[in-house]
Every structure is written in C-alpha cells, then in structure tokens.
C-alpha cells in the first residue's frame, strides 16, 4: 500500500526517484509524485493515475535537485486525484507517507482552530501541517519530528524534506516498513530493499518507532525513546533484474510460468533428496509439545493455509484453527499454552496478519511464518522462519507465491507428523517423492496454456462464475474464484461442491459457468455427483481433471481442461495452474489491466 523513496544524492535525483517508483508501482497506482529541493525551494510534481502520467509531467516540467522524495499511492483517505497525491507540502515541509494516521480528525480540528489551511482530503496532510507549525515557531527539523511523532496514531512510514535544510531527509516508521540504503556519498530511504536495488545493496531495516536523519555522509538512527541506536547493515540481495517482464506480456504470466522453477527451488530447502526425508530449518522449540496450530493469513495466503489444515490434520493429527487475519485479531480467540501460531504471507507486511502475529506473540504462542520476503517484518518477528523462494512477485494477483507456500506447508506438515511419530519412514519417503514430482507436474500443467487460452472466450462474457471443489480442492476453488474476480472483474465464488445444494444451486442457469476441480482420486466420484446435479439444472460445466477423470465425466461439459495425473498430495499445487491461467486469459480477453487491476495493491499495509 503506497511506496515511498527518498534520496540524498550527489547527482540530480528526479529520474532516479521515478525509476524507484517503477519498482514499487505494485504497491499502489492511484497517483504518484515527487518533490526535490532546489534553489532554496521545494519543487513538487504530481499526477493522478499511473506512473506514466508522472513521468510525462516530470519530462515536461523538470524537477532539478540532488535531494528528493517520491511516492506511489494506494488511496485510503481522499479520492485518487492530483490534489490528494503525495508529496503533501507547505512552503517549508514536504512529506510522503505509507500507512494511515488514525487520529487525523482531532489533529486536523486542532490545526484548523489554529488557522492552518488544508489543501487535500488526506490523513497525511496533518503531519505536514504539524511539522510546518513547529518549523515556523523556530524548531529545527529534528526537533519538529521528535515533537510530532508521539502524537501520531496508526501506521506510518514517512520520508520528509525540509526547505531550510536542503542536504538531508528525515524518515520514520511505525507499523509500515522503511529501510535505509547506503551508497557512495549518497543515502536513501525506501519502502523496501527492492526499491533501492539498483542504487545499493547495503541496507538497514528500521525497527518499530525508529526515526532517522539521512545525509550524504550516512544515517543517524533514533529509537522510539529518542536514543541514538545502531541498526545492522545487511546485504539485501534484491535484484532489479528480477522485476523485469522479460519476453512475457505480463508479470502475472511470467510468474505463472516460473512456478516449476521456484517450487523446485523452494523444495530444495525443505527436503533432502538423497535421504528422501523432509528437512526443516533449525527449530529452537520442542515441536512434539505443540498441541494445536492456529493458522492466520489473508487472501491467497489464507487459501494456502486452508489446504495446509487438511495436511496437518491428516498427517500429524494436530487440530488446526484457521482464520482470516482481519477477523482473527478482533474476535478474542482462545490461545492456549502449547500452541503454534502459523502466519502465511507473500509480502510479510500485510497489516492485519502482522497485527495478528503480534497478538499471538503476546499470548505466548510460538510463532512460525511462511513468507516470501525474508527481510519483512513478519520474518523478523518469527520464532520459526520458513521462507518461500519464489523471488519477487510483482503481479498483484498472487500465483507463484501460492504454490511455493503449499510446498513449504506440505513439508512442514510432514515434518510435524514425523516428529510426532505419526509417519513411518516409508510414508515420509513417499511424501518426499510426491513433492519432488511437483515441478515436472507443474510443467505438464503449463503445457495446457494454449487450450486454456482457446476456451477463455467461453468465460469472458459471463457475469458470474462458480468454482467447485472438495477436500483440498475446495480452497483451490476459492482461490480460482479470487483470481478471476480480481483481474477480470467477473463476479466469482468458490464453494465446497457438496454445499451447492444447500443454496448456491439456485443460482444455476445456462448463463453461469461452473468450473469443477476434480482430480481423479478418493473424492472424485463425490465431486462428480455434485457436478451432475448442476448439469441437470442446465449449468455449463468446465471440468478440470486428468485424462481418466475426463474420460469418466467429461461428456456433456461445455469444456474440459486436462491435467496430468498426480498424487492427491500435490494436486492443489498442480491444479493451481489451470485456475491461474483461466483467470489470466479471461482477463486478457476482456482487456483489463492484468498486473495492476483496479482498486487493488500488492502489499496491504493498512487495516
Ligand atoms: O502478502 P500477503 O500474502 O500477506 O497478501 C495477502 C493478500 O493480500 C493477497 O494474497 C491478495 O489476496 C492477492 N491479491 C490475491 O491474488
């Protein structure tokens, strides 16, 4: 949600700021803006909509200067207009913000009563006005920041420029991520290491409540109590090349096709191929004492968690609770001693998931995270870090992160079961063998890309689409529906196939395509019976199954999508591919913005 960057440089910064925003556009694309310091003035350029508009604006009206800040916005308070675009500024202070200032109303009233004038509808502008007031009263930038920060409630990462001090910037974070980057005679601020990838690999991750003064010489960091502190400098390893589309039309398409490689890459950290055993990172707690697992996540990561619930219960016989983070944190969940709280997140920064993690930590749970960004807040706050190795995921619709999450979760469930004495050596070997088959099976699933592209026109005109699945294919049905709605804007729902006749079947007519996920296996016949109930009522079926399943039940379907025959354990990974491709090709057929669908952002760092 919003990306920010700041540069105290030795050369003009405008182009580099815009370039940095390009690498963060996935965080929000409602508007963008920059502000540089030049000739004793704050020079601001802003534009509504995609970054291309700002690029044009900066080309037409250059912003000179070697120090500046920039922002790409996902709107929270105030419409996505130029007036509400960051940076927000007075004559003295300009500021970019990622997060939400929850107490902005009383602060705004207080400032209005003092006669200050606002020009936007945003929560952010109160911070600029408060800082400006203190600067006008004669405080230094550092004193002004030190006075204002304790008054802000909510979440923020800030980068602030001061007219009176053109050779430095101040950054601050609470609840939203912010990193400091160290270059050759230059220093940077960024929402993440990726934003700074071409500028530097030397990064410090600010901790909650930290604020920082950056100059060309480096950074001086203060903690929440105002004490000067050191934060370790680490090599980020982020690569700007990883966020190129290559020969693909969209990032989403590239990321779908990367799955065989990144799942194999991820599995390498979780299985020992020669010994055919699962292998987890060093665990500093007694896993056998875990008596309950609580899984919390959002969106696609939540559906990965739902699949994992089946595995944990089936292999390890441990009870699993699962909830979406936004509900979990406010329902006062029962968290008994001996519980493992497992958080799943691509970004590791999703605000609700992070808040739930902190809640569970306070409640004495052991914290495990499955996360794709190893330097994220969740990764840093976990007792057990289980990284996925999917590489940067840029398309807003999550694809490769999902299949990598499933790979890690399957290995974790098996490890749990081994430690609890619930799996024999042979059973463990069989699980490892099946997991190692996954990359090849993903490749075989991708071979059907053309067939799926051919049939997308059958779905593209629909107003509603239903997805059905049973067992671990039920969460996958919901994932398929989520993919379709977020990038094609077609209303879609995923149901447990046996639940259809308890209500949703009333929706069936010949305008509602029903996508049925039914790999042949123990649940096939049950799912097919539910499918026949739909067909008997005129429903148009798209059956996704293997050759055997299609031979048995494909007749009379509007379309079939053939998958390789796979073991039920890896079916959720393999069947993710056709639902991703179907959504992708339908979106292409409709001409929507696949990588940056309307109203969404990749990393949801506000509640
Ligand atoms: O970064 P996270 O995995 O925590 O993000 C969770 C959701 O915001 C995310 O999965 C979202 O639902 C995707 N856009 C789905 O494609």
Residue ID of nearest Cα to ligand 1 atom 16: 397
Output the domain CATH number for residue 587.
Answer: 3.40.50.10490
Q: 352 and 467, same structural domain?
A: no
CA of 476 to the centre of ligand 1 (A): 14
Q: 262 and 209, same structural domain?
A: no
Identify whether the C-beta of residue 21 lies closer than 8 Å to the C-beta of residue 54: yes
Q: 54 and 23, same structural domain?
A: yes
Q: What are phi and psi of 298, to 5 degrees?
A: -130, 155
Q: Encode pLDDT of 381-397 as tens digits.
A: 999 999 999 998 999 99
What b/e sequence results for 327-348 when a residue is b if at least 16 CB atoms lie within 10 Å of its CB, and e otherwise? ebbeeebebeeebbbbbbbbbb
Q: Encode pLDDT of 513-550 as tens digits.
A: 999 999 988 889 888 888 988 888 888 999 999 999 99
CA of 322 to the centre of ligand 1 (A): 16
CA of 480 to the centre of ligand 1 (A): 13
d(CA 485, CA 587): 9
Q: 467 and 421, same structural domain?
A: no
CA of 398 to the centre of ligand 1 (A): 6
Q: Which atom of ligand 1 is nearest to the CA of 398?
A: 16
Q: Which atom of ligand 1 is nearest to the CA of 300?
A: 10
State which residues of the chain have pLDDT below 70.
Answer: 241-242
Q: Would you tell me how many other CB atoms lie within 10 Å of the CB of residue 229?
A: 15
Q: 310 and 423, same structural domain?
A: yes
pLDDT of the residue at 17: 97
Residue ID of nearest Cα to ligand 1 atom 7: 299
Q: What share of the chain is helix, strand, coil (3-state, %, to 5)?
A: 40, 25, 40
Q: 451 and 402, same structural domain?
A: no
Q: 479 and 418, same structural domain?
A: no
Q: Which residues pair with 96 in a beta bridge?
A: 159
- Whole-prediction pTM value? 0.83
Output the domain CATH number for residue 231.
Answer: 3.60.20.10
Q: 469 and 385, same structural domain?
A: no
Which of 408, 427, 446 corresponds to the end of one domain?
446
- Alpha carbon separation from 524 to 315, 443, 470 (Å, rounded): 21, 23, 8
User: What are 502's two structure tokens?
Assistant: 């308890």
d(CA 459, CA 178): 42
Q: Which residues does 247 contact at the CB level (< 8 Å), separation at least 6?
A: none
pLDDT of the residue at 287: 84
Cα Dmax for the chain:
81
Q: Which atom of ligand 1 is nearest to the CA of 396?
A: 14
How many alpha carbons fall within 13 Å on the CB side of residue 243? 22
List ligand 1's pocket residues with C-beta within 6 A.
Answer: 298-301, 345-347, 350, 353, 396-398, 482, 486, 603-604
pLDDT of the residue at 607: 73
User: What are 537's two structure tokens?
Assistant: 């009522």
Could you give the angle at the alpha carbon of 98 between the alpha carbons of 124 and 213, nearest 5°? Answer: 90
pLDDT of the residue at 602: 78
Q: 219 is in which domain, residue-wise?
A: 3-242
d(CA 529, CA 358): 44
- Total domains in the fold of the chain: 3
CA of 427 to the centre of ligand 1 (A): 33
Q: Catalytic residue numbers?
A: 2, 602
pLDDT of the residue at 214: 98
Q: 142 and 84, same structural domain?
A: yes
Identify whether the C-beta of residue 191 lies closer than 8 Å to the C-beta of residue 4: yes
Q: Which atom of ligand 1 is nearest to the CA of 399?
A: 16
Phi and psi based region of residue 246 (left: phi greater than 0; alpha: psi -120 to 50; beta: remaining): left
Which of 391, 426, 446 corresponds to the end of one domain?
446
pLDDT of the residue at 282: 77
Could you give the angle at the alpha carbon of 354 between the alpha carbons of 597 and 201, nearest 5°? Answer: 75
Identify which of 176, 256, 298 to mutate to test ligand 1's pocket (most ligand atoms within 8 A of the CB): 298
pLDDT of the residue at 603: 77
Identify which of 27, 176, 251, 299 to mutate to test ligand 1's pocket (most ligand atoms within 8 A of the CB): 299
Q: 284 and 147, same structural domain?
A: no
Q: 469 and 417, same structural domain?
A: no
Which DSSP symbol is given to 304?
A: H
pLDDT of the residue at 268: 94
Phi and psi based region of residue 35 (left: phi greater than 0; alpha: psi -120 to 50; beta: remaining): beta
Which of 392, 423, 446 corresponds to the end of one domain?
446
- Alpha carbon separation from 448 to 405, 469, 476 (Å, rounded): 23, 20, 18
d(CA 412, CA 279): 9
Q: 499 and 430, same structural domain?
A: no
């Amino acid at each position: 949600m919003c990306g920010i960057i700041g540069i105290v440089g030795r050369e003009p910064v405008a182009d580099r700021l815009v370039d940095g925003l390009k690498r963060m556009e996935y965080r929000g694309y409602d508007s963008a803006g920059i502000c540089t310091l030049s000739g004793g003035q704050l020079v601001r350029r802003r534009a509504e909509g995609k970054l291309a508009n700002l690029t044009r604006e900066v080309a037409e009206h250059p912003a000179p200067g070697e120090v500046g800040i920039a922002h790409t916005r996902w709107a929270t308070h105030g419409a996505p207009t130029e007036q509400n675009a960051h940076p927000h500024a007075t004559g003295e202070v300009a500021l970019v913000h990622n997060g939400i200032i929850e107490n902005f109303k009383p602060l705004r009233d207080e400032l209005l009563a003092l006669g200050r004038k606002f020009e936007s509808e945003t929560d952010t502008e109160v911070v600029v006005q408060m800082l400006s007031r203190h600067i006008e009263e004669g405080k230094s930038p550092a004193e002004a920041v030190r006075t204002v920060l304790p008054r802000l409630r909510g979440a923020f990462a800030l980068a602030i420029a001061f007219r009176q001090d053109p050779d430095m910037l101040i950054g601050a974070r609470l609840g939203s991520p912010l990193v400091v980057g160290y270059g050759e005679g230059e220093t940077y601020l960024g929402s993440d290491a990726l934003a700074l990838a071409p500028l530097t690999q030397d990064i410090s991750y600010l901790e909650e409540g930290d604020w920082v003064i950056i100059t060309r010489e480096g950074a001086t960091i203060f903690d929440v109590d105002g004490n000067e502190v050191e934060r370790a400098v680490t090599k980020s390893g982020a690569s700007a090349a990883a966020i190129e589309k290559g020969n693909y039309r969209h990032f989403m398409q590239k990321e779908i096709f990367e799955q065989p490689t990144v799942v194999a890459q991820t599995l390498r950290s979780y299985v020992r191929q020669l010994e055919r055993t699962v292998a987890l990172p060093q665990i500093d707690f007694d896993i056998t004492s875990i008596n309950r697992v609580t899984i919390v996540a959002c969106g696609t990561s939540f559906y990965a968690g739902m699949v994992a619930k089946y595995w944990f219960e089936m292999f390890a016989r441990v009870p699993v609770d699962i909830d979406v983070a936004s509900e979990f944190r406010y329902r006062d969940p029962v968290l008994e001693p001996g519980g493992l709280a497992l958080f799943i997140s691509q970004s590791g920064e999703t605000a609700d998931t992070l808040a739930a993690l902190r809640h569970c930590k306070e409640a004495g749970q052991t914290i495990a995270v499955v996360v794709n960004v190893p330097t994220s807040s969740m990764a840093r706050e976990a007792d057990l870090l289980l990284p996925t190795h999917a590489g940067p995921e840029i398309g807003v619709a999550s694809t490769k992160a999902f299949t990598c999450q499933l790979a890690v979760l399957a290995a974790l469930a098996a490890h749990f079961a081994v430690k609890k004495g619930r799996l024999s050596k042979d059973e463990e070997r069989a699980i490892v063998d099946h997991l190692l088959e996954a990359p090849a099976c993903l490749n075989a699933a991708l071979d059907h890309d053309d067939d799926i592209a051919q049939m997308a026109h059958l779905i593209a005109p629909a107003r509603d689409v239903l997805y059905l699945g049973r067992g671990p294919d039920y969460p996958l049905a919901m994932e398929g529906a989520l993919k379709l709605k977020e990038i094609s804007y077609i209303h879609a729902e995923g149901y447990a196939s046996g639940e259809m006749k308890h209500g949703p079947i009333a929706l069936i007519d010949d305008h509602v395509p029903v996508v049925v996920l039914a790999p042949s296996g123990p649940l096939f016949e049950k799912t097919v019976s539910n499918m026949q109930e739909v067909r008997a009522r005129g429903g148009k079926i798209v059956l996704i199954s293997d050759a055997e399943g299609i031979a048995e039940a494909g007749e009379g379907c509007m379309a079939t999508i053939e998958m390789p025959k796979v073991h039920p354990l890896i079916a959720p990974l393999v069947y993710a591919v056709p639902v991703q491709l179907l959504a992708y090709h339908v979106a292409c057929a409709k001409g929507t913005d696949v990588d940056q669908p309307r109203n969404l952002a990749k990393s949801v760092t506000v509640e």
